[in-house]
Chains A and B, each alone.
Chain A
Amino acid sequence: MIHPTLTAYLVVSALLFGLGFFGVLLRKNTLIIYLCLELMLVASMVALVAFSRFNGTLDGDVFVFFVLTIAAAEVAVGLALIVALFRRRHTVQVEELNFLKH
């Protein structure tokens, strides 16, 4: 059985992070943007777990537990904001969020 190297994990992590980042930049639907944000967090977690495994310390794994909790809190607040906005404006598209002038 072949064990993947640290580099392989990091490449996956960087790819996920890049996907998430470009999703945030390019997509127009707030919910999808929000999903991409979570993807960026998950990418960081992959890197943390991989480093933890290859460094031989548990710090990275513990970090991931806390980050998962934070991500859940962010979901709660983020979705609440999207719902609050939808109730007022009946849209979740970013290009229509233009009450505040530039």
Chain B
Amino acid sequence: MNPDYALLAQALLPEIALVVGALLVLGLDLAIFRRQEPAARYRLVMNFGAMAVTVALIFACSTGFSGPVFGDVLFFDTLALITRQGVLMLTLFTFGIACDARRLRHPAEYVAVILFAATGLILMAAAQQLLLAFLALELASISLYVLAGFDKSRPESAEAALKYFLIGGMAAAFLLFGFSLLYGLTGSLILPQIGMMLMPQGPSPLLLIALVMVLVAFGFKTAAAPFHLWAPDAYQGAPTPSAALIASASKLAGLVFFYRLLWPGLGMSAGDAARLPFTIGWVPVVALLSGASLLLGNIAALAQTNIRRLLAYSAIAHAGAMLLGVIAAGASGPAPLFYYAFTYAIAAIGAFGVIALVENAGRCENLADLAGLHRRSPLLAGCLLVFILSLAGIPPLAGFFGKFVIFAAALKLNGLGGPAGWLAVAAILLSAVALYYYLLILKQALVVRTDGPIRRITVPPAATATLLTAAGLLVLFGLFPSVLLGLFQ
């Protein structure tokens, strides 16, 4: 193999921009920014971070490079390229909603770690080789642990980060053990080669153990039940922009990565969940995780009074639908899965953005803290309406069409003749349950009146632009889904 470094540098321009941006922001903060007032320093650092992501996004959109890079270590196909643009856009939104200067004593480090996390996430989506995939996954995960525990003034933040870290570290160990078994079985680290070598072998006990190990890590990364326990705590305790990044970009990249690992890599040991009796493989296990997540997420969300925990349980329910998309992706390609995950990520980051801004003006812990939001800030209330209705899957927003394509793909497998079809029907029925708790949020924000004087919320221009863009994208993708789905044809 003759590695072509020029080609590698050209293909990885966005990643290079992110890393250079992260190092520059640390250096500039040390040299110049730290002499400024805290508020000015914070603004400078955030603008610098947003600029680095914008440069990376321009590179990602302008270089139409596709194909294998550096041997077969990275592979840029449509999915990898679009995921890269999507993750960068979500990172930009994260900077847009990060407006709470009081809580962060080290803004430059915060920005740098966000940029490192984004680098890990976009490499993860393009990785074709187990070593690079593991490195990218850990770069993203370790950065996210730091981000979750960044707010040292609140004990909740450290506790959330520690729980996230311990469960995440365990999942990484499982994934590594699974990878080592796959390497042992095939003698290769490159996914397509692993797929080819496994073809004639058939299901062996070692392969089954490897599959179980990989699926445990998958369940953790997507916060699927029964590996969801970290999610409500991390969402509740982490600083709001960190929680937004964990809920959106990390989930999108994780799903794309595991789609790659499971279908192109381990597709021959998929088994079948579309008809009974099951054939042994990973698909029936994913179906089980999906069912458990749908049920647990939707039912547990009903009992929540804390708005972030409610969003976390709704995220678990959405993870169930995404796993259904993973099952269906073998037959229908990754387009429905990507559409669902990306539009979900935009809605989630928007909802967290609204929480961050309300928090900036006071408190936003419980549902009751949102009361009277339509009088305090009509803009925030309007945006929250779009985000929550999209999460609930109300037409014409993108959330509705995402559910539609995923369930249609799952039903296409074998109609109602097997568990995949039944899961789709269960998911549709549980959407009605979900509507109830989503409307609880909207009732507080749009209907409930509060006594006493109205404390208006001022929204900074960057945050206004972010929220309006996110809401606009949800309407656009909902009205014209082919804008996104057409990219895959």
Question: B-contacting residues of A (Cβ < 8 Å)?
Answer: 6, 10, 17, 20-21, 24, 30, 33-34, 37, 40-41, 43-45, 47-48, 50-52, 54-57, 59-60, 62-63, 66-67, 70, 73-74, 77-78, 80-82, 84-85, 88-89, 97, 99-102
B294 at interface by CB-CB < 8 Å: no
Q: Is the CB of B177 within 8 A of A43?
A: yes
B163 at interface by CB-CB < 8 Å: yes
Residues of B within 8 A of A80 (CB): 149
Residues of B within 8 A of A74 (CB): 138, 142, 169, 172
Q: Which residue of B lies closest to A39 (CB)?
A: B173
Residues of B within 8 A of A44 (CB): 173, 176-177, 179-180
Residues of A within 8 A of B233 (CB): 100
Q: Identify which of A43, A55, A84, A99 contacts B184 (C-beta below 8 A).
A: A55
Q: Is the CB of A40 within 8 A of B177?
A: yes
- Closest 4 A/B residue pairs (Cβ): A40-B173, A51-B184, A88-B155, A44-B176
Q: Is the CB of A97 within 8 A of B163?
A: yes
Q: Identify which of B162, B176, B180 contacts A81 (C-beta below 8 A).
A: B162
Bound-complex Cα distance A44 to B175 (A): 9
Give B126-162 as 1s and 0s: 1 = Cβ < 8 Å from A's Cβ atoms: 0000110011001000100110010010011011111
Which one of B162, B172, B174 has the greatest number of beta carbons of chain A within 10 Å?
B162
Bound-complex Cα distance A50 to B174 (A): 18
State whether A81 and B158 are in contact (beta carbons under 8 Å apart), knowing that A41-B176, A44-B176, A100-B232 are contacts in the complex: yes
Residues of B within 8 A of A77 (CB): 142, 145-146, 165
Q: Identify which of B152, B156, B181, B189 contacts A47 (C-beta below 8 A).
A: B181
Q: Is the CB of A51 within 8 A of B142?
A: no
Residues of B within 8 A of A84 (CB): 149, 152, 158, 161
Q: Is the CB of A24 within 8 A of B170?
A: yes
Bound-complex Cα distance A81 to B131 (A): 26
Q: Is the CB of A59 within 8 A of B170?
A: no
Bound-complex Cα distance A10 to B204 (A): 15
B183 at interface by CB-CB < 8 Å: yes
State whether A62 and B165 are in contact (beta carbons under 8 Å apart), knowing that A47-B177, A51-B184 are contacts in the complex: no
Q: How far is the CB of A19 from chain B (nearest CB, A)?
A: 12
Q: How far is the CB of B207 from chain A (nearest CB, A)?
A: 14
Q: How far is the CB of B210 from chain A (nearest CB, A)?
A: 10
Q: Is the CB of A85 within 8 A of B159?
A: yes
Q: How far is the CB of B190 from chain A (nearest CB, A)?
A: 9
Q: Which residue of A lies closest to B173 (CB)?
A: A40
Q: Is the CB of A57 within 8 A of B187?
A: yes
Residues of B within 8 A of A67 (CB): 134, 176
Residues of A within 8 A of B170 (CB): 21, 24, 37, 40
Main secondary structure of the interface of B (DSSP, over half): helix
State whether A63 and B162 are in contact (beta carbons under 8 Å apart), knowing that A40-B173, A81-B145, A100-B236 are contacts in the complex: no
B478 at interface by CB-CB < 8 Å: no
Q: Is the CB of A47 within 8 A of B155?
A: no
Bound-complex Cα distance A8 to B306 (A): 51
Q: Is the CB of B131 within 8 A of A66?
A: yes
Q: Which residue of B lies closest to A70 (CB)?
A: B138
Subset of 25 A-B contacts with CB under 8 Å = A6-B184, A17-B173, A30-B166, A33-B166, A37-B166, A40-B170, A43-B173, A44-B176, A47-B177, A56-B187, A57-B187, A57-B188, A62-B131, A63-B179, A63-B183, A73-B142, A74-B172, A77-B145, A77-B165, A78-B145, A81-B165, A84-B161, A99-B156, A100-B236, A100-B237
Q: Which residue of B lies closest to A54 (CB)?
A: B184
State whether A85 and B155 are in contact (beta carbons under 8 Å apart), knowing that A40-B173, A63-B189 are contacts in the complex: yes
Give B335-346 as 1s and 0s: 1 = Cβ < 8 Å from A's Cβ atoms: 000000000000
Residues of B within 8 A of A10 (CB): 184
Residues B304-351 near A (CB distance < 8 A):
306
Q: How far is the CB of B132 from chain A (nearest CB, A)?
A: 9
Residues of A within 8 A of B172 (CB): 41, 74
Q: How far is the CB of A36 from chain B (nearest CB, A)?
A: 9
Q: Is the CB of B135 within 8 A of A70?
A: yes
Bound-complex Cα distance A44 to B173 (A): 7
Residues of B within 8 A of A40 (CB): 170, 173-174, 177
Bound-complex Cα distance A44 to B156 (A): 32
Bound-complex Cα distance A47 to B176 (A): 10
State whether A89 and B155 are in contact (beta carbons under 8 Å apart), knowing that A41-B173, A59-B183 are contacts in the complex: yes
Bound-complex Cα distance A21 to B159 (A): 21
Which one of B155, B169, B174, B189 has the greatest number of beta carbons of chain A within 10 Å?
B169
Residues of B within 8 A of A45 (CB): 176, 180
